[in-house]
Amino acid sequence: MGHRGPRGLVGEKQKRSRPVGTLLRRMFGYLGKFRKLVAAGAVLSLIGTFVNLLSPIILRDGLNLLGLEGSTILAVFYLVIFYLTLRIFGWLFNGGYTWILAGAQAGFVQKIQKDVYDHLIDADLSYHKSEQSGDVTSRVTSDTDSLGIGIQVIIDVGSQLTLLIGTFIVLILISPTIAFTSLIVVPGVIFIAVLFGTVGQRIMLASRRAYGKVSGQIAENLSGVHIAKAFNREEEIAEQMLELNEKAYKHGFRFMILMSALQPLVRSMGIFAVAAILFVGGSLVAGTAAILTTADLFLGVILLSNFMWPLLSIAMMASQVQASLAAMDRISDVIEAEPAIADTPESVPLLDESDGIKFCDVTFSYVEDTPVLKNIDFHIEAGETVALVGHTGAGKTTIAALINRFYDPDSGCIKIGDQDLRDIKLESLHSNLSLIPQIPYLFDGTIIENIRYGNSSATDEEIFEICRLIGADDFIDVLAEGYDTYIIEDGKNLSAGQKQMITIARTMLANPKILILDEATSRLDAYSESLVQEAQEKLFAGRTTIVIAHRLTTIANASRIFVFEQGELIEQGTHEELLAYGGVFKNLYDTYYAHQGITEISEDIASVASLEVSRSASSKSSSVDLPPEAIARMKQMGMDPEDIPPEMMEKIRERIRSGS
């Protein structure tokens, strides 16, 4: 596994990699937690089976009684009452067995689902990144459901075997000849079982896959419906869906044809078996030396169905058991996987005095022999704000993931203060560290519940104050339900910027010792970004902060900038030092940062503004509509925007827009 975590089974085929005995022991180990229910169900099942065997015998005795001289209607009446009583008790016992089995099965599935879900939650982030989300979800849903069906089938096998053996014993007691004649159904049952277990299983699997693709395509089309509308592709995606539906229909139709053919085949096999019993049994009844009575022959015909259907059920259950074993094998992959990132017995909480971050000769790779970071060395002082810049794929986000200890480095170590991350309890580490990702994620619930996720003990007033500081209350207050607005499906009813504002408020509420912002303000407009930055200056003052950003306004205020290229730290220094150095950062600045428009204002632009003001008349501008960053920078240089003449203000705007 390494730091990349356990690998699950990916693909459509479900092949077992563990012995059947191991899988069965694990299945019955879960079922053992409900042993009392299972034992009670087994007792009821045995009683019900006994009643099912006894009922046709009562019918035979009734027929024999009618043939005896001196039999009375009262005797027949009592026999009928006894038969009805048996059938009622049989129905009650079988109903109780079904009810108890359903309870045990539900508890069994719930227990396995909980274990699988807990293991998935505790699994490394690398595990989830290496698995398809649909495949991971199927471990908790369809695989556990398949196990539940398998357990029901396995328990039913015991009941069916009891009925099968009991029926055959009664047939032998009636007539060994009839008993062995009933075995004529065995080849037909085996043929049906093989047909259903091979051709039928393949058709059924193909049908499930086809309908799975239909479901996936529906979800994809609905999530991207705005793109389809924007490019006028509604008819195209409708045609694609029609094609998938037709394929699914064809597989479903083939399965329906197979089942339609099996039913008359089973009925004809039953008719043939009854004909054989009637021929053999009739010979024994009508012979010169009658061995059987007509009632015995009637009983043999009835018992034949009691013998044939359990045999057929057991044969057809084999494929269901195989599917359940495959599901147990897939679930075992999750349950047996040990997290690569876990606390050791020597792990301790993060000390209060531990602060600042050190990377000591760190090398890391997601794929073996393909390093993403190479021999990284740096030291971030406690309370310092450092910006990480570089081209896409340079390793910036990986730095954030390693600090969060989503992965461990291949070599070297990472420290907070003097404590190695490997020696810090994960719960303590994540309690003192927060990450604001580039792509915000919101949970189902209200806005205030999502913000309180950062600190469950926070009061409403504390949440309101945080939102006021970053300006999030501007859009929250105008919503119909305000802070009680329910967020649907990861914030579909909010804009990207609004979602990011909520995640920022959530992180601010957590009040972490160390903060990592991975393009956290990239989805905000310039005005919202300025509000967030002002709030951060207040709330995160003196807090160790790492900023990954592409906006000049975000990184220009950092005490130091680390420049990464192809997994290596190649430059570090202040904004001015790196520009003067003329290296990679200067190239990034010239090709990207310097052309970000009026949301970023450089010293040159501010100097131009100062020069224009000094040359202008003393009349005042009637309005100031420069971006907040421009106004703040001009005030830092001793300029009052209210004193700038209108004609000069327009020139400043033109200079800012042109980036000159």
What totals of helices (H) and strands (E) does the chain contain, helices first?
A: 25, 12
Tokens representing 35 are 């042993």
Identify each DSSP E strand in 444-580 by its residue range: 445-446, 486-487, 514-518, 544-548, 560-565, 568-573
pLDDT at 622: 39
Could you give the CA distance from residue 530 to residue 548 in angstroms, rounded to a whole number? 17
Cβ–Cβ < 8 Å for 451, 463: yes
pLDDT at 127: 63
| 78-90 tens-digit pLDDT | 777 887 888 888 8
Q: Quickly state the pLDDT bin for 650 (edges 50, 70, 90).
A: low
Cβ–Cβ < 8 Å for 451, 496: no
Looking at residue 378, its amino acid is F
pLDDT of 197 above 70? no
Is the model more confident about 231 or about 120?
120
Could you give the CA distance from residue 512 to residue 497 in angstroms, rounded to a whole number? 22
Name the percent of the chain lying above pLDDT 70: 71
Helices 133-140/142-174 angle, 10° precision: 40
pLDDT of 6 above 60? no
Q: What is the mean pLDDT of residues 113-138?
A: 68
Closest CA to 140 of 156, 128, 130, 129: 128
DSSP assignment of 617-633: -SPPPS-----HHHHHH
| Segment among 54-58, 296-300, 575-579, 607-611 with least mean pLDDT | 607-611
Closest CA to 357 of 563, 514, 562: 514
Q: What is the mean pLDDT of residues 220-229?
A: 68
Cβ–Cβ < 8 Å for 348, 395: no
Mean confidence (pLDDT) of the chain: 75
Distances (CA, A) of 7 to 126, 129, 332: 9, 10, 12
**How many C-beta atoms lie closer than 10 Å to residue 509's C-beta?**
21
Distances (CA, A) of 237 to 165, 224, 282, 483, 640: 57, 11, 66, 37, 57
Could you give the CA distance from residue 525 to residue 474 in angstroms, rounded to a whole number? 14
Highest average pLDDT, of 75-84, 272-281, 381-390, 431-440, comes from 381-390
Is the model more confident about 276 or about 459?
459
pLDDT of 396 above 60? yes
| 614-638 tens-digit pLDDT | 444 444 443 445 665 566 555 544 4
Closest CA to 299 of 193, 173, 401, 406: 173
Buried b (16+ CB within 10 A) or exposed e, 105-132: bebbbeebbebbeebbeebbebbeebbe
Closest CA to 175 of 305, 54, 271, 295: 295
Contacts of residue 349, defined as CB under 8 A and 6 or more positions apart, other chains included, come to: 424, 425, 428
Cα 402 to chain centroid, rounded: 24
| 300-341 tens-digit pLDDT | 777 777 777 777 777 667 667 767 777 777 777 777 777 777
Q: Quickly state the pLDDT bin for 522 (edges 50, 70, 90).
A: low
Contacts of residue 206, defined as CB under 8 A and 6 or more positions apart, other chains included, come to: 251
pLDDT of 529 above 50? yes
Entry pTM: 0.59
Q: Quickly state the pLDDT bin for 562 (edges 50, 70, 90).
A: very high
Contacts of residue 50, defined as CB under 8 A and 6 or more positions apart, other chains included, come to: 166
Contacts of residue 237, defined as CB under 8 A and 6 or more positions apart, other chains included, come to: 221, 228
Kindly report the backbone phi and psi dihedral angles of residue 546, in degrees, each rounded to the nearest multiple of 5, phi listed first: -115, 125
Closest CA to 347 of 420, 276, 279: 420
| 167-176 tens-digit pLDDT | 788 878 877 8
Q: Is 547 helix (H, G, I), strand (E, B) or coil?
A: strand
Looking at residue 500, its amino acid is Q
Tokens representing 10 are 């990916």
pLDDT at 53: 77
Identify each DSSP E strand in 161-203 by its residue range: none
pLDDT at 359: 94
Tokens representing 242 are 């029609």
| 126-168 tens-digit pLDDT | 666 655 555 566 666 667 777 777 777 777 777 777 777 887 8
Q: Is 475 helix (H, G, I), strand (E, B) or coil?
A: helix
pLDDT at 306: 72
pLDDT of 358 above 90? yes
Tokens representing 127 are 């595990």
Q: What is the mean pLDDT of residues 465-470?
A: 86
Highest average pLDDT, of 61-65, 211-215, 362-366, 597-601, comes from 362-366
Q: Quickly state the pLDDT bin for 91 (edges 50, 70, 90).
A: confident
| Segment among 102-106, 406-410, 634-638 with least mean pLDDT | 634-638
Could you give the CA distance from residue 57 to residue 277 in angstroms, rounded to a whole number? 17
Name the percent of the chain lying above pLDDT 90: 8
Domains of the chain: 1-10+20-175 (1.20.1560.10), 357-572 (3.40.50.300), 601-658 (no CATH)
Cβ–Cβ < 8 Å for 520, 388: no
Tokens representing 387 are 């910006």
